[in-house]
Amino acid sequence: MKTVKRKKTTQKRRTFYVTTPIYYVNDVPHIGHAYTTVAADVLARYKRLRGYETFFLTGTDEHGQKVQQAAARNGIDPQAHADRMVVAFRELWSRLSISNDDFVRTTDPRHTGVVQEVLRRLQAAGVLYTASYEGWYCLPDERFWTEEEVREGRCPECGRPVEHISESNYFFKMSAYRDRLRQHIRRHPDFIRPETRRNEVLGFLDRPLEDLCISRPRARLSWGIPFPFDKDYVTYVWVDALVNYISIPGYGRDERRFKKWWPADVHLVGKDILTTHAVYWSTLLMALGLALPKTLFAHGWWTVDGEKMSKSRGNVVDPNTMAGEFGTDAFRYFLLREVPFGQDGDFSRKALMIRYNSELANDLGNLFSRTLSMIERYTGGRIPKPNARTQKADDRVLAASARALDRTVAREMDRFSFHRVLREIWTLVDKANRYVDQNAPWELAKDGRNIARLETVLYNLAETLRILSVQLYPFIPETAERMASGLGWTTPMDRVRMPRDNGWGKLKSGRTIQKGRALFPRMENEPSPPQPVPGSQKTPPKEMPMESTGIEPSTISIDAFRKLDLRVGRIVSAEKVTGADKLLKLAVDIGSETRQVVAGIATKYTPDEILGRSVILVANLKPAVIRGIESRGMILAAGEKEVEALATFIESVPPGSRVK
């Protein structure tokens, strides 16, 4: 029999291994935990899109003093406590569409066994010794501090009182690795990111490095992994926890699997635990003869309404509440759009509301709904065929922007610059919205000779939206899925691959679209308290006293004109008023609030045509009730009897800007 020799493929499989910290189960998760986990999810989803086989690991840190104390407060044993608390984490991750491939609990035997094996190997390597320790200890943080580090009897990290203890323990010769670690950091600029954090660690390593106490006497703390060669001790919780990054991919259990995933591509952590990762973990890995992770990224810290988040302040943000109120995707979007990854940031409901309404509901949501409405109306609900003969320069701009976006996203993702990625994606959203206005499909639809052009325009919009759905998928997966399937794209998003599926023109003509409900239904702004402008009137202006100006009634003084509060308003929803041919009911965003306005413009404009337009609103007009609907303000338009043209702007201006 003839044997066919197969050429061995030498191409390495592309893998990506990303982790989050494993969170303590002493309390329920909050926005900080959600942040790191959502960021890791974005990376994992993005890498899968790019064809990487991805392993995304998160989990819970269940041993140690903090957990033991929390369990004692609840009057249950620590394992029962952990079993109860882990549910909150698992449920939150499912609610936030977290696509982790595994979930580690440090009480799981597949982990505890490896921790003991690690200790045995360290012992065998001769890097452990016992010594008695006398000094300062922060009980809640489980950290030893030197005399110089302690600040007035308090822990330099958490500020709580430290205790003086004296006990015998196992130590790891961490000090021996200082120079090697410094060299590694210097030689690998991507090892610690961002740059400022890298410098911090290098600064820390300028000082002498102490050895690390890696045991706790059982007599003092029983809730930990027993030392395999000394029953009087349990493992220091940080050593236990850090080992999760290797235990779960198979270290000491499944070498083939371990080799496939290790070293990790990224450990995402908050800046609070950078030292434990950059120094403790790196030196432990060196002692085990293992490679160091490729990147350790330490992100910044969230405060809430400008204050540190804490239980005692009662300002802890529950991610469940935010996802419930705004939707999972909007919450995910906000976390990564609001603050450059790596920097500290401030969370406020108001800021979330503003981004939700302006970027998600107005920009993206409207683009999607108006495009699909027009396809429904003008091309029978099917994706039209683009026509080469009707191509114009602005079509090419859209296609070129989509291609350029792909390159920018790839570059910025590699830099963990999530907010920039989103900003760039929105540049395309804005371009597409402008493209609608410039090409005015509703005008093209009026003349049969323009049908081919109309089809080209609508195809281009649909294709832009589909490409946007791919780029947005890592951030807002559920919405992206809805966008793509609404456009008749049949590949499920988790099977979409870049660049195969995001080239221009892949969307097939003839597919039936499905409009569905709004991607991001507009949310009502809470009424903001009136902001008195210094020197301005506190009461609303009364009727203008024309006679008292002393000049001809056909002219008004500049003061009289100034009493008009003219504002840039963006039309964020528009619908016909039943039984009134001329009237449209509009929602007009004027920055601080959204006004309901009834306007007599229906003979000239359909709701689709004016959606998203910026108009001039007379904001301090006395409210009126028209056909039973309250109207608060008037939009300016030209025309004698009937409206001929709406007054709008050449440049884009933010809603609420003053017109004068």
> Judged by CB under 6 A, which stretch of 21-29, 466-474, 489-497, 560-568 contacts ligand ME8?
21-29
Q: For ligand ME8, which is the closer residue by CB, 35 or 489?
A: 35
Neighbouring residues of 571: CB distance < 8 A, sequence distance ≥ 6: 586, 587, 588, 589, 610, 611, 612, 613, 614, 615
CA distance 371 to 387: 18
Query: If binding is defined by CB under 6 A, does position 273 make contact with ligand ME8?
Result: yes
Among 16, 17, 18, 32, binds ligand ME8 (CB under 6 A): 32
Query: Going by DSSP bridges, is the β-strand pair 295-299/266-270 parallel, antiparallel, or unpaired?
Result: parallel
Token pair in block for residue 414: 């590699």
Spatial separation of the C-alpha atoms in residues 475 and 355, rounded to whole Å: 15
* Half-sphere exposure at residue 297, Cβ-oriented, CA atoms within 13 angstroms: 23
Segment interacting with ligand ME8 (CB under 6 A) among 27-35, 224-232, 554-562, 625-633? 27-35
Give yes or no for a cis peptide into 263 (omega within 30° of 0). Answer: yes
Verify binding: residue 469, ligand ME8, rule CB under 6 A. no
Q: How near is the Cβ of 36 to ligand ME8 at its closest, in Å?
A: 4
Q: Work out which of 52, 133, 258, 301 binds ligand ME8, going by CB under 6 A.
A: 301
Residue number with CB closer to ligand ME8 (23 or 418)? 23
For residue 24, the minimal CB distance to ligand ME8 (Å) is: 4
- Does the protein bind ligand ME8 through residue 35 (CB under 6 A)? yes
270 belongs to the binding site for ligand ME8 (CB under 6 A)? yes
Looking from the CA of 266 toward its CB, the CA atoms found within 13 Å total: 27
Residue 176 CB, shortest distance to ligand ME8, in Å, is 22
Shortest spacing between CB 215 and ligand ME8, in angstroms: 18
**∠ CA(149), CA(150), CA(156), 5° rounding?**
85
Q: Which is nearer to ligand ME8, 342 or 600 (CB)?
A: 342
- Burial of 555 (C-beta count, 10 Å sphere; 0-12/13-18/19+): exposed
Q: CA 174 → CA 26, 71, 179, 282, 602, distances in Å? A: 29, 32, 11, 10, 76
Q: Is 297 in the site for ligand ME8 (CB under 6 A)?
A: no
Q: Minimum distance from CB of 21 to ligand ME8 (Å)?
A: 4
Asked whether the CA dihedral 640, 643, 648, 650 is positive or negative, the reply is negative
Q: Which region among 257-265, 270-278, 424-432, 585-593 touches ligand ME8 (by CB under 6 A)?
A: 270-278
- Check binding of 309 to ligand ME8 (CB under 6 A): yes
Least distance from C-beta 57 to ligand ME8, angstroms? 11
Q: How far is the CB of 646 from ligand ME8 (least distance, A)?
A: 45
272 binds ligand ME8 (CB under 6 A): yes
Q: Residue holding tokens 């597919």?
A: 511
Q: Which stretch binds ligand ME8 (CB under 6 A): 20-28, 208-216, 478-486, 514-522?
A: 20-28
Q: What's the rounded Cα separation, in Å, for the pair 506 and 170?
A: 62
Q: What are the Cα distances from residue 587, in Å, to 109, 630, 635, 658?
A: 58, 11, 11, 18
Nearest to 502 by CA among 399, 371, 368: 399
Q: Applying CB under 6 A, does 367 fall inside the site for ligand ME8? A: no
82 touches 221 (CB < 8 A): no
* Interaction between residue 269 and ligand ME8 (CB under 6 A): yes
Q: How far apart are CA 51 and CA 189, in angstroms?
A: 26
Point out which residues pair with 222 in neighbouring strands. none
Binding-site size, ligand ME8 (CB under 6 A): 18
CB of 35 to ligand ME8, least distance (A): 5
**DSSP class of residue 161?**
B
In the window 149-178, what residues touch ligand ME8 (CB under 6 A)? none
Contact call for residue 507 and ligand ME8 (CB under 6 A)? no
Contact stretch for ligand ME8 (CB under 6 A) within 16-24, 335-343, 397-405, 568-576: 16-24
189, 196, 273: which is closest to 19 by C-alpha? 273
Confirm or reject binding of residue 61 to ligand ME8 (CB under 6 A): yes
Is residue 92 within the footprint of ligand ME8 (CB under 6 A)? no
Contact 164, 150 (CB under 8 A): no
Report d(CA 143, CA 606) in Å as an integer.
67
Residue 475 binds ligand ME8, judged by CB under 6 A:
no
Q: In the chain, what are the helix, strand and coil shares in percent, each to the nearest 5?
A: 40, 20, 40
Residue nearest to ligand ME8 (CB): 32
- Taking the complex as a whole, the smallest distance from the CB of residue 37 to ligand ME8 amounts, in Å, to 8
Applying CB under 6 A, which of residues 16, 17, 18, 23 lies at the interface with ligand ME8?
23
What is the pattern of x (binds ligand ME8, CB under 6 A) and - over residues 230-249? Answer: -----------xx-------
Does the protein bind ligand ME8 through residue 42 (CB under 6 A)?
no
With binding defined as CB under 6 A, does residue 302 bind ligand ME8? Answer: yes
Q: According to CB under 6 A, which residues from 521 to 550 bind ligand ME8? A: none
In this chain, which stretch among 31-39, 328-336, 415-423, 466-474 interacts with ligand ME8, using CB under 6 A? 31-39
Which residues, in sequence order, are CB contacts of 301 under 8 Å at separation 6+?
32, 270, 271, 272, 344, 345
Which residues of this chain interact with ligand ME8, rule CB under 6 A?
21-24, 32-33, 35-36, 61, 241-242, 269-270, 272-273, 301-302, 309
